[in-house]
Amino acid sequence: MALFKKRAAGKPGEWYYCLEHKKVEEGPECPGKDRMGPYASREEANHAMEIARERNVEWETDPRWSDAAAREDEA
């Protein structure tokens, strides 16, 4: 018995951003390794790269994940 079902077509209203083709698609058209999502709207999927950049900056500057903060706690 398979743990995960492969879904051939996406649900209407699920939006993805394809990294390979650099385009928004409704439902997963491209393989999972090439897409980001799902997003709630076409507009949100259209800004997938901006959202990812913002989240990366938040993660990189989060003091809870900073190696410097960990070293200070050890001292």
Q: What is the tens place of the pLDDT at every residue in 16-31?
A: 999 999 999 998 889 9
DSSP strand pairing (35-39 vs 15-18): antiparallel
Q: Does the pLDDT at position 1 exceed 80? A: no
State which amino acid sits at residue 27: G
Could you tell me the pLDDT band of residue 13, with boundaries at 50, 70 and 90?
confident
Global pTM exceeds 0.85: no
The candidate with the shortest Cα–Cα distance to 49, out of 23, 75, 10, 14, is: 23
- Report d(CA 38, CA 36) in Å as an integer: 7
The reported pLDDT for the residue numbered 29 is: 86
Return the higher-pLDDT residue of 67 and 70. 67
What would the mean pLDDT of 40-57 be, rounded to a whole number? 96
